[in-house]
Amino acid sequence: MFKTLLVASVLTGAALAAPPASGAAANVVVAKDGSGNYTAVQAGINAVSAGGTISVKPGTYREVITVPSGKTGITLRGTTGKAADVVIDYDNASGTKKPDGSTYGTSGSATATIAANGFTATALTFRNSFDRNAHPEIKDTQAVAVKTTGDRMVFDNVTFLGHQDTLYADTAAVGTVGRQYYRTCSISGDVDFIFGRATAVFDRAAITALDRGSSTNNGFLTAASTRRSNPYGFLIVGSRVLSSAANASFYLGRPWHPGGDVDAIAQVLIRETSLPAAIKQAPWTDMSGFSWKDARFTEYRNTGPGAGTGADRPQLPAAQAGNYTAQRYLAGSDGWNPVH
């Protein structure tokens, strides 16, 4: 699977409808009905100062948004507390053509690109609604809902909806650590739909593996590209994987080596998580000529009909379990601990 590293920022006409305020505000309200300061989410992001809050009233906001690295410490929140009430949605795919005839690429397809450190999102939905069946002319169907490259990021009660490449949990640069905490979030997709280089913890998540109609291979939950020097990649803990797909038709993951990078050695631990019958009994697989056995794939005390042990299911030794908790993944050198 080809994934371009091109990062493209695209703003829709809706996002540009309200220009940035001349003086940055501490807090702004976005509402489609005109009852707030702005009617588009990007306009609210443009207007708020670092450390500020954008409160978004219910509605579907059809736009592409970008939170630049300079907007540190901002919060994007839905006002009702229900993620389904506020939806930020667009439908670009990697192979979608731009006006100039070029294509967006995987990174450029993102509905939301979030580069700022200290970013928090709560009670809203990010969706990439690209429909591969409606666009048979598009062969590169990666369609990202969110790409993240920041550090100390928190997503609380946030829903991520897509198919291939839903959540691109990345970092700002090769060799840069980006810690991201996804608490009580919902994530849906099929092919490699949680992927990237970040140190990302998915705590008490609901992860839905969508049915592509295959009896043998409906997709892959993860495609991590963790740096060799980083002991912590993806941790899925205390979560539920859900699927209506055929039994033994989903992989837990495969190792992504962007551009053939031999130092991208995926690290994924799935622990104390319920797995459905759709998960294969040999749940890890190779990718682009790289063996899954060279990656750092482990499980620990999983349950459900898709759980299992054996030579093809490496288990984290109990003596090491204390070194692979959410707190250990996220602590870094500054002791960051958003876990509660």
Tell me how far apart the alpha carbons of residues 55 and 77 are, in angstroms, rounded to a whole number: 5
Report yes or no on 182 lying in a domain. yes
Element (H, E) at 331: helix 326-331
Catalytic residues: 192
Alpha-carbon 324 to chain mean position: 20
Report yes or no on 48 lying in a domain. yes
Hey, which residues does 28 pair with through a beta bridge? 54
Going from the first residue of the chain to its last (340 residues), give the mean pLDDT of each consecutive group of 10, the final group possibly shorter.
36 35 78 97 97 98 98 98 98 97 98 98 98 96 98 98 98 96 98 98 98 98 98 98 98 98 98 98 98 98 97 97 98 96
3-class secondary-structure state, position 219:
strand
pTM score: 0.92
Report yes or no on 181 lying in a domain. yes
At residue 23, the pLDDT reads 60
At residue 12, the pLDDT reads 36
Report yes or no on 36 lying in a domain. no
| Of 19, 333, 14, nearest in space to 179 by CA | 333
- The label of the residue with tokens 């009909």 reads 305
CATH number for position 130: 2.160.20.10
Q: Contact, 49 vs 68, CB < 8 A?
A: no
Q: Look at phi and psi of residue 184 and say left if phi exceeds 0, alpha if psi is from -120 to 50, else beta.
A: left
Hey, which residues does 289 pair with through a beta bridge? none
Report yes or no on 210 lying in a domain. yes
Q: Which domain holds residue 275?
A: 41-330
Report yes or no on 313 lying in a domain. yes
Tell me how far apart the alpha carbons of residues 54 and 136 are, in angstroms, rounded to a whole number: 38
At residue 24, the pLDDT reads 76
Report yes or no on 208 lying in a domain. yes
Tell me how far apart the alpha carbons of residues 123 and 127 are, in angstroms, rounded to a whole number: 14
- The label of the residue with tokens 């229900």 reads 82
Hey, which residues does 62 pair with through a beta bridge? 89
* DSSP codes, 14-55: TTTSSPPPSS-EEEEEE-TTS-SSBSSHHHHHHHEEEEEEEE
- The structural domain count of the chain equals 1
Overall residue count recorded for the chain in this entry: 340
At residue 19, the pLDDT reads 39
Report yes or no on 67 lying in a domain. yes
